[in-house]
Amino acid sequence: MTAEKIAAMRTGGAKLRTIKKQLQELAQVGVNFAQIEAEAQRLIAAAGAKPNFSLEPGYHWATCINKNEGIVHGIPTEDKIVEDGDLISIDLGLLWQGWNLDTSISFVAGTSSEQKEYFMNAGKKALARAIGEAVAGASVYDISHQIEKTIVRAGFDPTWQLTGHYIGRKLHEDPYIPCVAQKSDRKLKINLGDTMAIEVMYAAGSCDLVEAADGWTYETRDGSLTGLFEETILVTENGPEILT
């Protein structure tokens, strides 16, 4: 754990947190995904940072935006429009002084419902409980177990095909952090100074995912609603610190 890393990731995380809130405010009914992407590009540049998603091989955008059955990696094109009642997820990251940050938010645009609010609250609760396990001496299994247990008890299905991940000089670093607990991950111990992107990804129906025709978007095979919540975490002596 270096002072340089901590200072840079705290600053980068604060920048990304602010941008995430601004993009959520922009994503009103009638706005298209390309408009959200353009604003993300503008805000990241204005913050003096770089859009790290576009540094990934083959991907050219600062954000991944999905709605309803789309769970991750949605390309932000202008033909995709925010409609009333859509469950929107925005996934974005940035590179600040050589260090990566990554975060995601899900929300309902326009008119929501009791069922959708219950669905999203399950994801928020799972993320909070998972973050609570990010302490020195615990394991990756402990984080995954909280995600799986909380989502399943709420009546929903966590993904087994996608994972969270450690993060630092690279956007995606080992070890990966599944949404479904793997017994073998008990040996992957968490240390002070570790930085990780904990992601909760789940579906209202079956979280059996298929790749869309664009070659990037993953969506539920049964068309059921999906949720995505993610924060970048720093493991400190005082417990987990949410950087984003």
Instruction: Map out the domains of the chain as residue ranges.
Output: 3-242
Q: CA–CA separation, 202 vs 168, rounded Å?
A: 25
Q: Among residues 34, 174, 176, 17, which one has the least CA distance to residue 96?
A: 17
Q: CA–CA separation, 220 vs 214, rounded Å?
A: 15
**Between the CA of residue 7 and those of 10, 96, 144, 240, what are the distances in Å?**
5, 10, 28, 15
pLDDT in tens, 159-202: 999 999 999 999 999 999 999 999 999 999 999 999 999 999 99
Asked if residue 33 lies in contact with residue 76, where contact means CB atoms within 8 angstroms, the answer is yes
Q: CA–CA separation, 30 vs 132, rounded Å?
A: 37
What's the pLDDT score for residue 202?
Answer: 98
Instruction: Please report how many Cα atoms fall inside a 13 Å half-sphere around the Cα of residue 49, on the Cβ side.
Output: 31
pTM exceeds 0.95, yes or no: yes
What's the pLDDT score for residue 2?
Answer: 86
97: left (phi over 0), alpha (psi -120 to 50) or beta: left
What's the pLDDT score for residue 1?
Answer: 60
**Between the CA of residue 211 and those of 68, 208, 240, what are the distances in Å?**
15, 10, 34
Instruction: Verify cis geometry, omega within 30 degrees of 0, for the bond prior to 175.
Output: yes
Asked if residue 198 lies in contact with residue 177, where contact means CB atoms within 8 angstroms, the answer is yes
Does an H or E element contain 222, and which? none
In the three-class reduction of DSSP (H, G, I as helix; E, B as strand; rest coil), residue 152 is classed as helix
CATH class of 3-242: alpha beta
Q: CA–CA separation, 97 vs 33, rounded Å?
A: 28
Instruction: Please report how many Cα atoms fall inside a 13 Å half-sphere around the Cα of residue 119, on the Cβ side.
Output: 24
35: left (phi over 0), alpha (psi -120 to 50) or beta: alpha
Strand pairing category for 87-96 and 209-211:
unpaired
The residue ranges of the chain whose pLDDT is under 50 are: none
Query: Going by C-beta distance under 8 Å and a sequence separation of 6 or more, which residues neighbour residue 46?
Result: none
Alpha helices in the chain (DSSP H): 3-26, 33-46, 114-132, 140-153
